[in-house]
Amino acid sequence: MKVAVVGATGLVGSEILTVLAERNFPVTELVPVASEKSKGKEIEFKGKKYKVVTPAEAIALKPQVALFSAGGSTSTEFAPLYAEAGITVVDNSSAWRMDPTKKLVVPEVNGDVLSADDKIIANPNCSTIQMVVVLKPLHEKYKIKRVVVSTYQSVTGTGVKAVTQLMDERAGKDGEKAYPYPIDLNVIPHIDVFQDNGYTKEEMKMIKETNKIMGDDSIRVTATTVRIPVMGGHSESVNIEFETDFDLDEVRQLLAAQEGVIVVDDPANLKYPMPKDAHGKDEVLVGRIRRDESQDNTLNLWVVADNLRKGAATNAVQIAELLNKKGLI
Q: Is 67 annotated in some ligand binding site?
A: no
- The 10 Å Cβ neighbour count of residue 76 is 13
Q: Which residues contact 185 (CB under 8 A, 6 or more apart)?
A: 229
Q: Is 211 annotated in some ligand binding site?
A: no
Q: Measure the CA–CA gap between 222 and 147, rounded to whole angstroms.
A: 6
Q: Is 12 annotated in some ligand binding site?
A: yes
Q: Is 165 annotated in some ligand binding site?
A: no
Q: Is 11 annotated in some ligand binding site?
A: yes
Residue 279 catalytic?
A: no
Q: Is 130 annotated in some ligand binding site?
A: no
Choosing from 139, 190, 234, 279, the catalytic residue is 234
Residue 234 catalytic?
A: yes
Q: Measure the CA–CA gap between 6 and 82, rounded to whole angstroms.
A: 11
Let me know: does 67 contact 98? Beta carbons within 8 Å.
no
Q: Is 227 annotated in some ligand binding site?
A: yes
Q: Is 90 annotated in some ligand binding site?
A: no
Binding site listing for substrate: 153, 227
Q: Which residues are known catalytic residues?
A: 126, 234
Binding site listing for phosphate: 97
Binding site listing: 9-12, 37-38, 97, 153, 227, 307
Binding site listing for NADP(+): 9-12, 37-38, 307
